Chains A and B, each alone.
Chain A
Amino acid sequence: MSENNHAGVTRRDFLELGLKSAAAGVVLAPGVMLYSAAEARPADEPASSKVRWGMLIDTSKCASGCDACVTACEKENGWGGPNSNEKHSNALQKSQWIRKVELRNVDTGATSSLPMMCQHCANPPCVDVCPTGASMKRADGIVLVDRHICIGCRYCMMACPYKARSFVHEELENQSVNAPRGKGCVEACTFCVHKLDRGDGTTACAEACNADGHKAILVGDLKDPNSEIAQTVAKYATTQIRAELGLNTGMRYQGI
């Protein structure tokens, strides 16, 4: 029934074997490296501060009017969309983990389009202000809400310069198993932490963007000098939105 089990080795076992044998990267073909190799870690090992997850968004590749990343996030994490489980909230109240923003330079008229979500700051203001410790940053730089202890005060929503967080106003059912979410808690982009933890090495938004052929979103480990994102960031000028705040965001933008 399952072709994966023919040799007694599952696909995941095979991948893990391959990944363990090559710490830095795997050469798939001459000149083609699989950079996600260093990112997989065993399930019983905590996230390490040797990794810093980051995203590089090339706004020149991001198509105006395309919202594939948003719908992919909705589907993956079970928020929003036409069949939203927030039945009573109005459009302003509903959760929005990621949104598309169209920018226009009033002087030059130049326009650009980009996805906006939690910027996963190294110095996150939402964590500073949280009275319970629910707003937290994981060792690998992913900023999360621990809904187990979130009291829903929404201080973090006010502190966030990117307006990245939402509050759930009503009881929910049929949440995604990937992203438990419920009434009275604040939530935001989780950097698809469930995907990264199982070694996917990418996020739902990036996958959708690649599938659509735009390839505007690059996900990787900023601390790994061999990763594509680290090399790109080292080579080209990239922008942190509101860099003057000194938050050191994990999300970098190119072309704005």
Chain B
Amino acid sequence: MKPINKLLLLVSAVLALTLSVPAAAGDSDSSIKPVIPKALSGTKCVDDPEVMVRTHMDKLKHQRDLTLREGIRTKQFSLKECINCHVPAGQEAAVQPGEETAASGKSSEGHFCMNCHAFAGVKIDCFECHNTRPEKPAMFHPIVTPGMEATKDVHQPDSATMLNELAGSNEKTGAAQ
């Protein structure tokens, strides 16, 4: 029993040391969290963030087989749609200058998926083939189905409102057509 107790002590000591190092290196707890760039404003995720964190891989894997092998191209859990909102073109560099990001899998800095995956040490396979950028600079389609919208009581502006807001912020001349 004695040697085992000793070993346990040693293990806990080592663990405590290793865990305390990154915490000590930063100023506060927030410094050891991955930088998660904000999604395209005005969009809402297909599920709660807590759920997505745990299940996005299952959803994507299920969807990929349906899409490739059967040709089912619903947008709800499509990787393309994830990227359209989470990595809007021009917004991938939204991380503050000088702020270190963990992303370095590709040339991008501050990639929504890669920041977290690099932080968690999970090798991401999607982007060995899939593009890390969306096709178009901004997408104005709802990716939340009406059913989901009904269950969630969150305000979401429609595309016309968003367009007007955008136009208004870009040029102070007034509303868009």
Contact = CB atoms under 8 A, between A and B. Distances in A.
Interface of A: 1-2, 5, 43-47, 136, 138-140, 144, 146-148, 171-177, 180-183, 185, 193, 197-198
B114 to A, nearest CB: 13
Contacts of B129: 147, 172, 175, 180-182, 185
Contacts of B69: 136, 138, 146
Interface residues of B, number: 26
B70 A139 contact: yes
Given A146-B68, A148-B64, A173-B107, A182 B128 contact: yes
A40 B148 CA distance: 26
B134 A46 contact: no
A233 B72 CA distance: 29
Nearest to A181: B129
Contact of B71 (A173, A174, A197): A197
Contact of B131 (A45, A47, A148, A175): A175
Contact of A180 (B107, B130, B163): B130
Interface in B136-177: 160, 163, 167, 176-177
The secondary structure that dominates the A interface is loop
B74 A148 contact: no
B56 interface: no
Contacts of B74: 43-44
Contacts of A1: 163, 167, 176-177
- For B66, B130, B160, B167, the residue with the greatest tally of chain A CB atoms inside 10 Å of its CB is B130
B75 A43 contact: yes
Given A1-B163, A1-B177, A173-B106, A148 B68 contact: yes
A139 B73 CA distance: 15
Contact of B72 (A44, A171, A173, A177): A44
Contacts of B131: 174-177, 180
B100 interface: no
Nearest to B107: A173
A182 B125 CA distance: 10
Nearest to B83: A177
Given A138-B71, A139-B70, A146-B69, 4 more contacts: A45-B72, A46-B71, A138-B70, A173-B106
A43 B72 contact: yes
Contacts of B134: 177
A220 to B, nearest CB: 17
Nearest to B132: A173
B58 interface: no
Contacts of B177: 1
- For B64, B73, B133, the residue with the greatest tally of chain A CB atoms inside 10 Å of its CB is B73
